[in-house]
Amino acid sequence: MYVYEPLKFVESIAFPRFGGTAEEKRAAEIIKAETEKMGGCSVLEEFTVPASEYKSHCAKVIAPFEMDLNVVPFQCCGTINKDLKVMYAERCVEMDLIGIKDLSDTVVIINQLNIDAYKLLAKLNAAAIFVVMGKYYHETNADAGMYERPAREKYLEYATIPTFFIHAREATDLLRNGAEMLHVELDQVDGTTTSQNVVATIEGTEMPEEHIVVTGHYDSLTLAPGAWDNATGSAAVMGIYNYFLANKPKRTMHFIWCGTEEQGLLGSKGWIEKHEDIMDKVKFCFNFDMCGTILGPNNVFVTGTKELEDFAELFCKEQGYSAQFRKGVHSSDSAPFADKGVPGIGLSRGTQTSEIHTSRDTMFPLGEKQLKMNIDFANKMISRVVNSAVLPVEKGMPDNIKKELDKYFQRDK
Ligand SMILES: [Zn+2]
């Protein structure tokens, strides 16, 4: 007889599975196979994501001394082959760039990449950007968080600037030794590739016209096995699917294992775009991003009205479920749904003692008992909502969350 074992399932997809790659597709096939093993069925729904065909890159100091630089280029940010001046723009705000009119012969080193910094550098025609990453003592690029990823589309609206991560150690050395000229090369062909969501649906027995989505992304970053982030959330969605296959819900449920979340929530956005015709029926979103760590605490993310916060807090009290509450927009697949007015609850569990987005996101910090606890609680809370006579809250977002969403999706610029 089939028995679902969530931690084993986590292990089965705990390999690097960057959105749009063959490894991500392999993880999607494993997810689909598991839904079939438990007597359900699912489909792969494809969508397009930006990607580059990488050819080569190099960066080195050429004057007044010579030094090779360890940099990792972003995808989809154009090409370059130039000798450039170098400058360090500490916070990359106007104050750091007083009197500068043009940076078309300069590579700019910055500490943090954000839309305001990028916009400013686009205005000044910066030739290239180096973003400092990691701690000076990190031994590998993986530990320093220097992974390939596409430049954000939102940024590219301002300009296509070849952008690289540079290791903190080398950025420090380069400035300490007074580097003046760099040679920077990047050769790649920018284009697109295919990613996919895995989607299963259970028709509601009494109110099939009202829909609830259960989301969790299954992709990871280039060098990250992504066990905690987010094989565990994928395993939670699977556990919930398993439960509702046996306990038919009154409302219709869509289980969405989202692809390419790490590159800008592209899977959940893709699902919404593809299913625009039923979006008015989607009334609630439960999202799972990182669960099952042995050390805690549990987290509950609430995106919606005060009424929704009260519902979630009361339900936790009733169940004796100890959790830390976070209110507002959750940077995960529930956000594009919130943007369509769909109230969201995210159930997760986390510890400061572990890390994500690096090669250290392994099975070590995870526990079967804790993952099952997260899934059991989710099943209770989701049952309460999906089977309620009237949903606990209506669709729609309060003004403060709408503002937060504008900021999150960078529409306030
Ligand atoms: Zn995640």
Domain ranges of the chain: 6-50+193-408, 65-179
Dump pLDDT digits (tens) for 158-191: 999 999 999 999 999 999 999 999 999 999 999 9
Residues with CB under 5 A from ligand 1 (ion): 229-230, 289
- Regarding pTM above 0.85, the answer is yes
Contacts of 355 (CB under 8 A, 6+ apart): 361
CA of 260 relative to ligand 1 center, distance in Å: 10
Q: How far is 106 from 128, CA to CA, in rounded Å?
A: 7
**CATH superfamily name and code, 6-50+193-408:** Zn peptidases (3.40.630.10)
* 127 within 8 A of 82, measured Cβ to Cβ: yes
The DSSP 8-state label assigned to residue 7 in this structure reads H
| Domain 65-179 listed as CATH 3.30.360.10 | no
Written as six digits, the tokens of 392 are 């606990």
315, pLDDT greater than 90:
yes
In the prediction, which pLDDT does 246 show?
Answer: 98
Q: Residue 133 Cα, ligand 1 centroid: separation in angstroms?
A: 20
DSSP symbol at 115? H
**pLDDT value for 411:** 84
84-106: b (≥16 Cβ within 10 Å) or e:
bebbbbeebeeebbeeeeebeeb
- Decide if 146 contacts 167 (C-beta within 8 A): yes
If you measure from the C-alpha of residue 223 to the centroid of ligand 1, how many angstroms do you get, rounded to a whole number? 14
Map residue 389 onto helix, strand or coil.
coil
Share the mean pLDDT of the chain. 96
378 CA → ligand 1 middle, Å:
18
Distance separating alpha carbons of residues 321 and 313, to the nearest angstrom: 9
Cβ atoms of 192 and 48 closer than 8 Å: yes
Q: Render pLDDT for 109-155 as a digit per residue (tens, 0 to 9).
A: 999 999 999 999 999 999 999 999 999 999 988 888 898 888 988 89
pLDDT band, very low/low/confident/very high, at 413 (cuts 50, 70, 90) = low
Tell whether the model's pLDDT for residue 410 goes beyond 90: no
Q: At what angle do helices 368-386 and 306-319 cross, to 10 degrees?
A: 130
Which residues, at least 6 apart from 406, have a Cβ–Cβ distance to it below 8 Å?
412
33-86: pLDDT as tens digits: 999 999 999 999 999 999 999 999 999 999 999 999 999 999 999 999 999 999
Q: How far is CA 48 from CA 24, 124, 187, in A?
A: 14, 32, 22
pLDDT tens, 180-223? 999 999 999 999 999 999 999 999 999 999 999 999 999 999 88
221 C-alpha vs ligand 1 centroid, how far in Å?
10
Under 8 Å between Cβ of 235 and 373? no
Digit-coded pLDDT (tens) for 338-376:
999 999 999 999 999 999 988 899 999 999 999 999 999
The residue type of 336 is P
| pLDDT recorded at residue 239 | 98
- Say yes or no: do domains 6-50+193-408 and 65-179 share a fold: no
CA of 324 from ligand 1 middle (Å) equals 18
CA distance 49 to 39: 31
Tens of pLDDT, residue by residue over 256-284, are 999 999 999 999 999 999 999 999 999 99
Q: Determine the Cα–Cα distance for residues 267 and 335; give it in Å rounded to an integer.
A: 12
271 Cα–ligand 1 center, Å: 17
pLDDT of residue 328: 97
Please report the pLDDT score of residue 142 as a whole number. Answer: 83
